[in-house]
Amino acid sequence: MNDLTGKVALVTGAASGIGRAIATAYAKAGARVAVADIDHQRADEAAAEIHGHAIGIAMDVTDEAQVESGFARTERELGAVDILVSNAGVQIISPLVELSFADWKRMLAIHMDGAFLTSRAAMRQMIASGRGGSIILMGSAHSHVASKFKAPYVAAKHGLLGLARVIAKEGAASGIRSNVICPGFVRTPLVEKQIPEQARELGMSEDEVIRNVMLRDTVDGEFTTLEDIADAALFLAGFGSNALTGQSLVVTHGWHMQ
C-alpha cells in the first residue's frame, strides 16, 4: 500500500517542516513529486535534495493564478496529479481582541483559500485523468479543540474538516478520496517560533509552555515527529478505496481522542 510508483504528488508548503518530510517520503515511495512553496528558492533546494524525481514549484496558495499555473506545470512535467497534500500554513499568536482584521483575513486566505484553490485544481486533473486520487488537507489537533490566542487558526483548521467532507462526497464518483491529518505539536519552524510568543502571552517560561500547554494532554508528554506525520500521509495517499474518505486522522500522542 505504501508503494507510490507511477503516482504524481503535489505538496504545498513543502520547502520546510511537515510538507518537506511528506514530499521526501512520497519520493522515496516512488512518486514523482512537485515541491510547491511560496519560497520558490527553498522549494527548488528541497526538490534538489530529494532522492528521486522532484521539481520545485513557485506557488503562493492564496493566489489563484499561481495555483493554476503551478498545477499546469506539474501536469506538463510530471503528469496529472494523483495525490494532493494541501499543507502550507502559518501561525499567528494573538488575543482575539487585539487581532487585526488584516491578520484574520491573511490566516483564512492561506489555510482556507489555499485548500480550496489547490483542491479544485487537483480535482479537475484527477477527474480528467480518469484515475481519481487522494486529497489530504493538513488540519491540526486544532481541527477538533480550541486554544487561546489562535482564533483564525482554530477556525480555519475546523473549516478544513467541512471542506474534506464535501470533497469526499463530490469526488466519490470519480474515485477521489479526501481526508484530514490532524497533527499534535511537531517541532518545526512554525512551532519553534510560537514557543517564546506563547510564553510572553501566558506569562510562563518556555519550558512551561512545552510541558503545561503544548504537551499537557498527550498520553506521554512527547512531541509528534515529522516521520509520524509522513507515515500517516503515506498511508492515506496509498489507501485504495472510498472506504476511508471524509475522515480525520488525529496523530497527536493521544491529545484529543475521537
Q: Give the one residue of 12, 24, 134, 248 binding ligand NAD; rule: CB under 6 A.
A: 12
Q: Are 170 and 209 in contact (CB under 8 A)?
A: no
The β-bridge partners of 34 are 10, 55
- Assess 146 for contact with ligand NAD (CB under 6 A): no
- Assess 74 for contact with ligand NAD (CB under 6 A): no
- Assess 92 for contact with ligand NAD (CB under 6 A): no
- Assess 188 for contact with ligand NAD (CB under 6 A): yes
- Assess 246 for contact with ligand NAD (CB under 6 A): no
Bridging pattern class, strands 176-183 and 248-251: parallel
List, edge to edge, every strand of the sheet that includes 8-12.
54-58, 32-37, 8-12, 83-86, 133-138, 176-183, 248-251
153 included as an active-site residue:
yes
The stretch near ligand NAD (CB under 6 A) out of 36-44, 115-123, 204-212, 231-239 is 36-44
Q: Which three cell numbers stand for residue 255?
A: 491529545
Q: Give the one residue of 54, 88, 161, 180 binding ligand NAD; rule: CB under 6 A.
A: 88
DSSP element (H, E) containing 201: helix 189-202
Nearest to 32 by CA among 14, 13, 6: 6
- Assess 24 for contact with ligand NAD (CB under 6 A): no
- Assess 194 for contact with ligand NAD (CB under 6 A): no
- For residue 253, CA distances in Å to 8, 211, 213, 222, 247 come to 30, 14, 14, 7, 18
- Assess 56 for contact with ligand NAD (CB under 6 A): no
Mask for 101-130, x = binds ligand NAD (CB under 6 A): ---------x--------------------
| Cα gap 130→93, rounded to integer Å | 43
Q: Give the one residue of 23, 32, 34, 89 binding ligand NAD; rule: CB under 6 A.
A: 89
Chain residues binding ligand NAD by CB under 6 A are 12-13, 15-19, 37-39, 59-62, 87-90, 110, 138, 140, 183, 185-186, 188-191
Catalytic residue annotation: 153
